[in-house]
Structure 1
């Protein structure tokens, strides 16, 4: 069966990302002719000329596409690095600067169920020089699940990748984008697995399942069918917990493709359509206004540089009366040690203290603001987790290397030292979007 809802989902993103830009030239490559024609039907409201091709062989002849769509066209090349490089060079050259590239690819039959992370990284960091010598590439908007596949087929590994062609400044950095930085430093596959061992199955946050549930309950009376945005959802344990415990429908987002690849693989196994995930930036993704009953974030927003912009976007996305609850790494009020400054810089953290968080929330318009310094509890958790590793070292070393063990022990010990100097805080924030007067 060929669903029109899939090309219409693609059209939804095109409208979001185009920002009113005129669209005259739409090129679609689909190995299934019927699905290709469905894109032509769905994109008709744009008033653009839509041309449908049935093979990637036609891609090199395309130029100046305002929208370039690939519908399950990469199945033969997704695991071949050389062919993917050729594809990306041709796709980037085929799109106009500012043009939108949409790649729909069903990965459920790929042997590596975390292939979405490999592809996201490949697409996100690729750069090529155009005819004018510009350093061009594909700027990531989102990687979302195909809704039709999720709800009709219980297939959570069918994806829509959405990019915009952009001219980038020349760079020799080892990590090309911030997503790339996260996945190559703190959230490597091995690093994530080691963190999960420390925090507990399905969690990459202090205290694991039990602590997360205790924090979630501070929202109050969560009801089945209500909606939640989870910013920095990680490997997805918290989102699936909220769905399972309370029946809430959760949209979890994270910029780390390595993290979300794990979340998506597990969601595909569990088949819970109350949960969906997006690989995206909370400061970029255009959420619908007044669409969530709750916004939740566990120990993520220290990665986000513009807290004012983030809080403004959360405010807009919440329904009137909706609540936001965030725990975050923050800075204390003691004189910062050089070691702590180096730690913050190495992690690319943007830390605020509780006073600053309260002021930003007030400025944005939130009411019923509650802030709390949870650092004493953080200290307890750190000691519990470090002790757990020390007492179960043999089990840990059966799964990981000595360097991972040493890194975790020193990391947890250093955090305890930062806490003693009131450099490192663990902060709680909750507030409400007021009803219109």
Structure 2
């Protein structure tokens, strides 16, 4: 069952016609799993090459494979503790893949005491770059998923796999500090220290205005959520909202609800424009968001301006933090305190100038 999940995910990002050759990188310890993977691929008339030693991968033909499946290569070879060998594995994989080729990397991390290995490997794959014949290559992150079969049969939530696509990138400018948008967020607004400070203000697992209570009010807009529902969580923080929805309901029925920073109708100040540029925001007015949602094919689109509520939340959070200033300073320091305080003050000014809005879109997918 686990092997079928890997092959299904491979076909989710490719087409049968685009897959003619697959390289399986594995070890002798995975013989049963390897046989299943080979059989599933050969049933689809795909040529499969199997290598069981990393040295064989290093000597693989360049630009030869449409896809590579790594079956527990990193964990079984202890590559997380061998940075140079891990680099060699990824470089060899990139060289062997055709442009646009896909890597499915399955790893069972349940044996590691450090649960952050999942995040560390995701970060590693996302930022890795190498130069071959003057061209910068790396992976474009597609997805990270758990093996459902391992969850249901053994309660193992750390048997996971990454789906990555080989891409060509522009060479980094010497003044460029970040490689991807995810990297930019991780090293600026959403550092570990910033997230801990946000959680102190908004509550555990929440990093957005209003925290648990406000998110629950937003979720109630769905109205008819019932146990057994499924919800798609897109870019809403560090998981608090998804856990909250799971505890209360589980499964929207064809409806979409978006809360999003937006742009008002006032004359945009230079300070606000600099703020937008620094945060890499792509802001639209409420009317533009309604048009975009309708153009995407949704029906019964309702746009609501939540900016007044946003302003009230900012004032409330600023007051609460000022009242507990000494406690905050002990935990996070004056620099973080001043950064947050300045952020609240700036946002309130932006709202008063009708520059910064907080909007909500509610729509229905047509039958």
> Which of the five TM-score ranges fits, normalised by the shorter chain?
over 0.9
Residues in 2 aligned to 1:186 and 1:19: alpha-carbon distance in whole angstroms: 38
Residues in 2 aligned to 1:154 and 1:379: alpha-carbon distance in whole angstroms: 44
Q: TM-score, normalised by structure 1?
A: 0.78
Residues in 1 aligned to 2:307 and 2:82: alpha-carbon distance in whole angstroms: 48
Contact 1:29–1:36 (8 Å) recurs in 2:
no
Match of 1:51 in 2: 49
Structure possessing the higher radius of gyration over alpha carbons: 2
Match of 1:104 in 2: 106
Contact 1:23–1:46 (8 Å) recurs in 2:
no
Does 2:25 correspond to 1:29?
Answer: yes
Does 2:4 correspond to 1:11?
Answer: no
Match of 2:343 in 1: 411
Residues in 1 aligned to 2:157 and 2:196: alpha-carbon distance in whole angstroms: 22
Unaligned runs of 5+ in 2: none
Residues in 1 aligned to 2:20 and 2:297: alpha-carbon distance in whole angstroms: 40
Per mean C-alpha deviation after superposition, the further-off stretch among 340-349 and 51-60 is 51-60
Residues in 1 aligned to 2:283 and 2:309: alpha-carbon distance in whole angstroms: 19
Match of 2:148 in 1: 147
Residues in 2 aligned to 1:80 and 1:383: alpha-carbon distance in whole angstroms: 49
User: How much has 1:111 moved relative to structure 2?
Assistant: 2.8
Secondary structure, aligned partner of 1:231:
coil
Shift of the 179–51 alpha-carbon distance from structure 1 to 2, 3 Å rule, reads same
CA RMSD of aligned residues (A): 1.7
CA deviations 1:142-173 (Å, max 9, x no partner) are 11122222333232222211111122222222
User: How much has 1:347 moved relative to structure 2?
Assistant: 0.4
CA deviations 1:7-64 (Å, max 9, x no partner) are 2222122212224553222111223222122211222233112122333232112221
Residues in 2 aligned to 1:354 and 1:189: alpha-carbon distance in whole angstroms: 32
User: How much has 1:346 moved relative to structure 2?
Assistant: 0.4
**Counterparts in 2 of 1:388-427, with a 5 A limit?**
388-427=320-359
Residues in 2 aligned to 1:115 and 1:181: alpha-carbon distance in whole angstroms: 20
**Counterparts in 2 of 1:227-376, with a 5 A limit?**
227-246=230-249, 248-249=250-251, 293-294=252-253, 322-376=254-308
Secondary structure, aligned partner of 1:370:
strand
Match of 1:221 in 2: 224
Among 374, 380, 396, the alignment partner of 2:312 is 380
Per mean C-alpha deviation after superposition, the further-off stretch among 202-211 and 51-60 is 51-60
Secondary structure, aligned partner of 1:365:
coil
Match of 1:62 in 2: 60
Residues in 2 aligned to 1:79 and 1:403: alpha-carbon distance in whole angstroms: 35
Residue correspondences, number: 359
Contact 2:41–2:47 (8 Å) recurs in 1:
no
Residues in 1 aligned to 2:56 and 2:334: alpha-carbon distance in whole angstroms: 51
Contact 1:55–1:73 (8 Å) recurs in 2:
no
Contact 1:199–1:207 (8 Å) recurs in 2:
yes
Shift of the 6–384 alpha-carbon distance from structure 1 to 2, 3 Å rule, reads same
